[in-house]
Amino acid sequence: MRTEVETFIDPQLGKRNRLTTLFRPILAIPAIFLVSLITPSHEGTGVLPVLLAIVIVIFGIYPIWMIAFTHGILEFATKANSYLFLLTDAYPNFIVDLKVRVVLPDIAEGKNINRWLPLVKWILALPHYVVIVLATAGVYAVVIFNWITILITGKYSGSGQKFIVGYISYINRVAGYAFAMVTDSYPRIITR
C-alpha cells in the first residue's frame, strides 16, 4: 500500500523549442501565480491547508471532493514546476497527462489519517523546509545551465534531470504530508 505522494515525470529530452525556452521565465508567470494562490505546497500558503486541517480535526473525515481537488492542484503545481524547470515544453494545463502525474495514497476518506496530527504537521515539517530552501539553489543552478544549453544547442541534454525530478518529487511528498494532509507518513528526503 502506498503511504506517500508519488510523482512521475517523463522529461522531454532531445530537440526543444528555443523561442519558448528563451521566454520561459516570463511564460511561466501565469501558471506560477495560479499555483501560488491555491496550492498546498511551498510556492504559496493558500487557504486549502487551513480548510483541510479544520475539516479533518472537527469532522474526522477528508471529503472525497476535497481529495480530488487537492490531487488536481498538486498535479497542476507539478506540471508548472516541470515547465518552469525546463523538463517539458508543454504548458501546464488541467488535462490528465501521463508524462507528468501525481498519485496520492489511499486514505479512505480520512479514516486512515490521525485526526489530531494536522494541528502539528506544519511544525513537524520544519526540517524539510530547510532542505527545500537549500536544494532550491542547486535546482536553479542546474536549470540556468540547461536553459543556456538549450538556447545554444537547441537540445536538452538531460544533465541534472534526475536531481530536478527528485526535487519536485520531494516537494510533493512534503506537501502531501504537511499541507495536503493526505498521509501521516513522515516524508523521506531520498526516494527508494
Instruction: From first to last of the 192 residues of the chain, give the pLDDT tens digit.
Output: 578 889 999 998 888 999 999 999 999 999 988 887 766 444 445 667 778 888 888 888 888 888 888 888 889 999 999 999 999 999 998 888 889 999 888 777 667 778 788 888 888 989 999 999 999 999 999 999 999 999 999 988 777 899 999 999 999 999 888 888 888 888 888 766
Q: What's the whole-model pTM score?
A: 0.89
From residue 75, give the alpha-carbon distance in Å to each of 46, 64, 156, 171.
16, 16, 23, 12
Query: CA–CA separation, 139 vs 55, rounded Å?
Result: 35
Q: Which three cell numbers stand for residue 67?
A: 481529495
Q: What is the pLDDT of residue 160?
A: 87
Name every residue whose Cβ is closer than 8 Å to that of residue 168 and which is 6 or more positions away in sequence. Answer: 7, 9, 78, 81, 82, 85
Measured distance CA(119)–CA(100) in Å, rounded: 31
pLDDT for 98 equals: 86
Radius of gyration over alpha carbons of the chain, in Å?
Answer: 17
Determine the 3-state secondary structure of 72 from DSSP.
helix
- CA separation, residue 5 to residues 1, 100, 105, 155, 179 (Å): 12, 13, 6, 31, 12
